[in-house]
């Protein structure tokens, strides 16, 4: 700015002089514009997380927590075989749910994007996918219970059709029912971003591939799949983080027989063991962040959007 | 919520306290008969502005009670129902958020030492002498044995007005005025179990593989588990309500093995879950609560609250006053508690299959037929109605477990919080995750 002032041409000096009063504003404006979001993030994201981190070092007994700096919450957490088993179990749910929702999501999106010619029908069918989301996810989950139960619709149907003699016990309150509910709940989170990515693919590329002699499978593998990666990555982030943090689905669908990290934290909170829950939450946050970073390493969402 | 509190009006020259002392005695009797007249105008108007906020577990947080309080006493009672873990949490961490805590005795053992509540002067409790002795001396009859666990009388009194230390014998300062209690046992589907059930160990009978359930509230679930292990003869306990680490390990080892073998269909945490598991036939034997059994039966499905030879696991709750309460509100709280023991609520609770703390007054509010069915274990002479007027039991039915003496006299242990609480919870979580 001072350089401008030193330039010999009087007109510029005059302009600079006139600009002096509002000069502060343009410099501050971006900060002001970013301020609401910054304040919101500070208040509702950073402060709570820092509090959780701080509390995770506190001590506690059965009714109260004491400000302190102890590592027992972390040592108890990380040395307990239950923690490892629970993490493994949660990761298993996450992996299974991810793989299945990816398969379903990709297929549905592919069908919508490349097999439905008219935009109207695409939208109609897309909205059809979202219909289950019009009800609460707890309802969607619970409605599986009478369906899959020992005397439920499915078992009675199969028995009366003569396909089985004994009701299938594994259908409810098992890993099967947990993953089934997860897939049902979260498949749309995979469909939407993949569909979005596919719609952005230039159809000329596919024509070019076909003209170049590529088979349908080759086009899918070498053209569509690489171009859909950002959508897959976004969908994966949704599904994985949702499953990692879940507690109610696991509790209801496993009949309280399986553990997940979210459930572990919920149990600790309900027993007033806030510091232990906080330590658990910090570890979970770290694990999920690592998983997200790893996914972003594989796919550069920004570059491909 | 509390801005309706009115400062005491002493301009009449009569202290409110003396005024109350006079009226309280009349009030108890008057309330019983439903005739509330003769309150000095000023006091009656003041107390109408009082709002008492009560929170507690769902069992006794009944809207009917709040309505009746408004009708009989004139002040407003706001009720919040939470699960027992949340109650404990809120009682300790937000002591200003409630005026009256409706908590269980084992919760009291955790909460009272935190200094968030004040003990009650028993000389102001009109029916104190008539409270069932379980809550005073621990003995139902002078020669009955004291059950294990957090027996209510062990945490029922503190040493002084400002003390948070539980007294060994009854004092003038009571922590909770007992309101509601019951003896719990296993619920079964008699149409599906296919044989008589007589012992807690039947829960782990391989014949019921994949059809048993246990409740997943650690402090209560561990007691049911202990009853089972003791009945099997696998573990000997010094005190089931206060186990050693070794006893906890042994108990949960047996339960974990059963779980891995597929004995359990599910673990439940809420009342509705237990009802649904039972009525859908997913589970045919499980730990259960008395009104849940009634709820299954109400669907027309057979369900029995099976008395077992080892005895019952009992629980009890009571009303306590928050530390911050004083003045008119404190008087209103005493007024409310005296009213609670005066019979109407007692009869209401007894009709739901629970027990009330002062039986004499409750009896006056029940018909002889109701009393004979619920309290004396006799076959119902007429249809037995719920407090809402629905038929609960047809004429001729007999209450599972029989009379009050038969049920409460056979309590093996009370719901408890242990010294090794933290360890137990950790081990319980391992069991659930196994």
pLDDT in the model for residue A5 = 43
Residue of B nearest to A76 (CA): B426
pLDDT higher than 50, residue B34: no
Q: What is the per-residue pLDDT across A57-101, written as a single tens digit (0 to 9) for each?
A: 998 876 677 888 989 889 988 988 888 989 999 999 999 999 999
* Shortest Cα distance, chain B CAs vs residue A112, angstroms: 40
pLDDT in the model for residue B227 = 94
Q: What percent of chain A has pLDDT over 90?
A: 50
Query: Which residues of chain B are within 8 Å of residue A89 when distances are taken between CB atoms?
Result: 433
Compute how many other C-beta atoms are within 10 angstroms of the C-beta atom of residue A303.
7
What is the rounded average pLDDT for all residues in chain B?
85
pLDDT in the model for residue A305 = 58
Confidence of residue B432 (pLDDT cuts 50, 70, 90): confident
- What whole-number distance in Å separates Cα of residue B434 and Cα of residue B424? 15
pLDDT in the model for residue B45 = 62
Residue of B nearest to A60 (CA): B422
* Shortest Cα distance, chain A CAs vs residue B206, angstroms: 16
pLDDT higher than 80, residue B342: yes
pLDDT in the model for residue A25 = 79
- What whole-number distance in Å separates Cα of residue B416 and Cα of residue B151? 8
CB–CB contact B433 A62 (8 Å): no
CB–CB contact B417 A145 (8 Å): no
The answer for residues whose C-beta is within 8 angstroms of residue B210's C-beta and 6 or more apart is A169, B262, B263, B264, B265
Confidence of residue B1 (pLDDT cuts 50, 70, 90): very low
- Strand pairing partners for B101? B55, B320
pLDDT in the model for residue B12 = 42
CB–CB contact A271 B218 (8 Å): yes
Name the residue facing A64 among B114, B213, B267 (closest C-beta). Answer: B114
pLDDT higher than 70, residue B57: yes
CB–CB contact A85 B114 (8 Å): no
CB–CB contact A173 B265 (8 Å): yes
Q: What is the per-residue pLDDT across A274-292, written as a single tens digit (0 to 9) for each?
A: 898 999 999 999 999 999 9
Residue of B nearest to A264 (CA): B429
CB–CB contact A82 B429 (8 Å): yes
Q: What is the per-residue pLDDT across B283-334, written as a single tens digit (0 to 9) for each?
A: 999 999 888 898 898 888 999 999 999 999 999 999 999 999 988 899 999 9
Q: What is the per-residue pLDDT across A13-45, written as a single tens digit (0 to 9) for each?
A: 444 445 455 677 788 888 899 999 999 999 999
Residue of A nearest to B283 (CA): A150
pLDDT in the model for residue A242 = 94
CATH fit for domain B16-175+314-364, picks 3.90.1410.10, 3.40.190.10, 3.30.1490.20, 3.40.50.1100: 3.40.190.10
Place of tokens 């949490």: B89
* Shortest Cα distance, chain B CAs vs residue A174, angstroms: 9
Please give the span between the terminal C-alpha atoms of chain B, in angstroms, as a whole number.
45
pLDDT higher than 70, residue B21: no
Residue of B nearest to A84 (CA): B433
Q: Please give the structure tokens belonging to residue A78.
A: 């990380």
Residue of B nearest to A61 (CA): B422
- What whole-number distance in Å separates Cα of residue A304 and Cα of residue B15? 80
pLDDT in the model for residue B275 = 92
CATH architecture of the domain with range A75-304 = Orthogonal Bundle (1.10)
Ranges of each domain in chain B: 16-175+314-364, 183-311+410-433
Name the residue facing A255 among B265, B281, B417 (closest C-beta). Answer: B265
Return residues 241-280 of B near A (CB < 8 Å). 259, 264-269, 276-277, 280
* Shortest Cα distance, chain B CAs vs residue A97, angstroms: 20
Residue of A nearest to B82 (CA): A270
DSSP state of A43: I
pLDDT in the model for residue A104 = 95
- Strand pairing partners for B182? B315
Query: Which residues of chain B are within 8 Å of residue A273 when distances are taken between CB atoms?
Result: 422, 425
CB–CB contact B282 A61 (8 Å): no
pLDDT in the model for residue A303 = 65
Query: Which residues of chain B are within 8 Å of residue A257 when distances are taken between CB atoms?
Result: 259, 264, 266-267, 432
Q: What is the per-residue pLDDT across B232-263, written as a single tens digit (0 to 9) for each?
A: 999 999 999 889 999 999 999 999 999 999 99
pLDDT higher than 70, residue B32: no
Residue of B nearest to A153 (CA): B280
pLDDT in the model for residue B332 = 92
Residue of B nearest to A152 (CA): B280
Measured in degrees and rounded to the nearest 5, phi and psi for residue A177 equal: -70, -35
pLDDT higher than 50, residue B356: yes
* Shortest Cα distance, chain A CAs vs residue B222, angstroms: 15
CB–CB contact A63 B110 (8 Å): yes
Measured in degrees and rounded to the nearest 5, phi and psi for residue B266 equal: -165, 165
pLDDT in the model for residue B3 = 41
- What whole-number distance in Å separates Cα of residue B299 and Cα of residue B280? 11
CB–CB contact B432 A64 (8 Å): no
- What average pLDDT score do residues B196-203 get? 94
Query: Which residues of chain B are within 8 Å of residue A174 when distances are taken between CB atoms?
Result: none
pLDDT higher than 80, residue B43: no
pLDDT higher than 90, residue B48: no
Q: Of B229, B222, B200, B213, which is closest to residue B427 (Cα–Cα)?
A: B222
Ranges of each domain in chain A: 75-304
Q: Residues B240, B230: contact at Cβ < 8 Å?
A: yes
pLDDT higher than 50, residue A162: yes
Name the residue facing B421 among A62, A86, A146 (closest C-beta). Answer: A62
- What average pLDDT score do residues B201-219 get? 91
CB–CB contact A257 B269 (8 Å): no
Q: Residues B434, B256: contact at Cβ < 8 Å?
A: yes
CB–CB contact A82 B111 (8 Å): no
pLDDT higher than 70, residue B193: yes
CB–CB contact A256 B89 (8 Å): no
pLDDT higher than 80, residue B41: no
Position with higher pLDDT, A12 vs B396: B396
CA distances (Å), B391 to each of B164, B292, B302, B363, B366, in order? Answer: 45, 16, 15, 20, 16
CB–CB contact A62 B422 (8 Å): yes
pLDDT higher than 50, residue B423: yes
CATH fit for domain B183-311+410-433, picks 3.10.290.10, 3.40.190.10, 3.30.420.40, 1.20.1050.10: 3.40.190.10
pLDDT higher than 50, residue B33: no
Query: Which residues of chain B are within 8 Å of residue A255 when distances are taken between CB atoms?
Result: 213, 264-268, 277, 282
Q: Cite the DSSP H helix spans in B96-202.
A: 105-111, 190-193
């Amino acid at each position: 700015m001072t350089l401008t002032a030193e330039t010999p041409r009087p007109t510029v000096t005059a302009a600079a002089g006139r600009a002096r009063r509002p000069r502060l504003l343009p410099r501050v404006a971006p900060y002001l514009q970013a301020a609401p979001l910054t304040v919101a993030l500070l208040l509702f994201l950073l402060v709570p997380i820092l509090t959780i981190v701080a509390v995770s070092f506190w001590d506690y007994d059965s009714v109260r927590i004491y400000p302190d700096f102890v590592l027992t919450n972390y040592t108890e957490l990380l040395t307990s075989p239950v923690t490892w088993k629970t993490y493994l179990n949660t990761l298993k749910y996450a992996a299974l749910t991810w793989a299945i929702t990816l398969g379903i999501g990709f297929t549905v999106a592919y069908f919508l994007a490349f097999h439905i010619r008219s935009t109207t029908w695409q939208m109609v069918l897309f909205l059809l996918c979202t219909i289950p989301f019009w009800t609460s996810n707890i309802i969607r989950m619970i409605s599986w219970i009478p369906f899959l139960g020992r005397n439920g619709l499915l078992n009675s149907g199969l028995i009366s059709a003569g396909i089985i003699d004994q009701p299938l016990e594994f259908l409810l309150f098992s890993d099967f029912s947990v993953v089934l509910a997860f897939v049902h709940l979260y498949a749309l989170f995979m469909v939407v971003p993949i569909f979005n990515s596919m719609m952005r693919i230039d159809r000329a590329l596919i024509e070019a591939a076909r003209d170049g002699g590529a088979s349908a499978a080759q086009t899918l593998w070498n053209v569509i799949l690489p171009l859909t990666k950002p959508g897959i990555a976004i969908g994966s982030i949704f599904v994985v983080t949702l499953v990692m943090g879940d507690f109610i689905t696991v509790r209801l669908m496993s009949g309280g027989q399986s553990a997940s990290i979210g459930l572990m934290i919920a149990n600790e909170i309900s027993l007033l063991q806030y510091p232990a829950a906080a330590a658990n939450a910090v570890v979970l946050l770290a694990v999920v962040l690592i998983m997200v970073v790893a996914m972003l390493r594989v796919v550069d969402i920004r570059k491909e959007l | 919520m509390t801005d309706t509190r009115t400062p005491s009006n002493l301009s009449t020259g009569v202290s409110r306290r003396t005024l109350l002392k006079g009226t309280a005695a009349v009030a108890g009797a008057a309330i019983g008969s439903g005739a509330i007249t003769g309150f000095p105008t000023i006091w009656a108007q003041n107390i109408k502005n009082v709002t008492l906020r009560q929170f507690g577990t769902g069992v006794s947080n009944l809207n009917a009670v709040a309505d009746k309080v408004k009708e009989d006493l004139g002040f407003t009672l706001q009720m919040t129902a939470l699960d027992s873990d949340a109650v404990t949490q809120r009682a300790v961490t937000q002591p200003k958020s409630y005026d009256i805590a409706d908590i269980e005795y084992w919760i009291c053992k955790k909460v009272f030492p935190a200094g968030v509540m004040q003990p009650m002067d028993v000389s102001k409790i009109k029916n104190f002498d008539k409270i069932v002795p379980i809550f005073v001396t621990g003995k139902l009859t002078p020669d009955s044995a004291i059950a294990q666990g957090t027996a209510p009388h062990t945490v029922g009194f503190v040493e002084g007005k400002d003390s948070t230390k539980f007294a060994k014998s009854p004092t003038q300062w009571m922590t909770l005025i007992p309101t509601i209690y019951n003896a719990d046992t296993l619920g079964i589907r008699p149409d599906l179990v296919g044989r008589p059930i007589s012992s807690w160990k039947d829960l782990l009978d391989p014949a019921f593989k994949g059809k048993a359930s246990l409740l997943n509230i650690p402090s209560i679930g561990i007691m049911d588990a202990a009853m089972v292990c003791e009945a099997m003869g696998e573990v000997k306990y010094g005190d089931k309500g206060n186990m050693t680490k070794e006893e906890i390990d042994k108990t949960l080892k047996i339960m974990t093995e059963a779980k891995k073998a597929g004995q359990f269909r599910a673990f439940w945490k809420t009342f509705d879950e237990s009802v649904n598991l039972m009525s859908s036939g997913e589970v045919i034997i499980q730990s259960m609560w008395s009104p849940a059994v009634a709820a299954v039966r109400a669907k027309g499905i057979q369900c029995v609250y099976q008395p077992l030879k080892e005895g019952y696991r009992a629980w009890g709750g009571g009303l306590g006053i928050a530390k911050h309460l004083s003045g008119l509100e404190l008087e209103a709280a005493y007024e409310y508690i005296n009213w609670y023991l005066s019979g109407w609520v007692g009869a209401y609770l007894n009709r739901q299959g629970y027990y009330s703390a002062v039986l004499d007054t409750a009896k006056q509010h029940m018909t002889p037929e109701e009393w004979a069915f619920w309290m004396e274990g006799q076959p119902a002479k007429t249809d037995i109605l719920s407090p809402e007027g629905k038929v609960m039991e047809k004429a001729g039915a007999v209450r599972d477990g029989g009379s009050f003496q038969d049920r409460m006299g056979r309590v093996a242990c009370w719901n408890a919080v242990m010294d090794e609480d933290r360890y137990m919870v950790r081990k319980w979580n391992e069991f659930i995750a196994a």
